[in-house]
Amino acid sequence: MSRRAWLIVATIGCAFVVIAMGVSTLVVADKSQFGWLVGAWFLPIITSGVIAGGVILLIAAWSIRVEERKWRRYILMAWAVIAVTSPLFGILFLLPWCILAVMLPFVVASLVSLFRANAIGAATSPQLQAS
């Protein structure tokens, strides 16, 4: 797969985690409005979404080839590992999710800068200039 494809996969994995965290936040913040979402399958679905998103992001971050500024890749990997392991904390899952929420702007900045670097690299590639 190309670098752009892995970046898209990483973005999808990040979105899985953010959507699961957002739904949980809505349920906790306004139970009268969103309490109907909570049922027997709520916790397994939210947990599966966070784990799946973390695994997808971890695989994509591992596959992204970065020549310089590897810290972007490491931020994505760290965020993915925290997301994957957060259900292991049981009821204390809110602590890792707080860390994920604090790190989210850095993850978004890393993804945006990797997309921009990919676009600049594609625009200056020898194959594009030859055609």
Q: What is residue 65's predicted lDDT score, i.e. its pLDDT?
A: 77
Q: What is residue 6's predicted lDDT score, i.e. its pLDDT?
A: 92
Which segments of the chain have a pLDDT < 50? 131
Task: Note the pTM of the prediction, 2 decimals.
Answer: 0.83
Q: What is residue 127's predicted lDDT score, i.e. its pLDDT?
A: 58
d(CA 116, CA 11) in angstroms, rounded, equals: 14
Q: What is residue 107's predicted lDDT score, i.e. its pLDDT?
A: 94
Rama region for 90: left / alpha / beta (φ>0; ψ in -120 to 50; rest): left
Angle at 68 between CA 127 and CA 81, to 5 degrees: 115
**Is residue 82 a contact partner of residue 100, using CB atoms and an 8 Å limit?**
yes
Q: What is residue 33's predicted lDDT score, i.e. its pLDDT?
A: 85
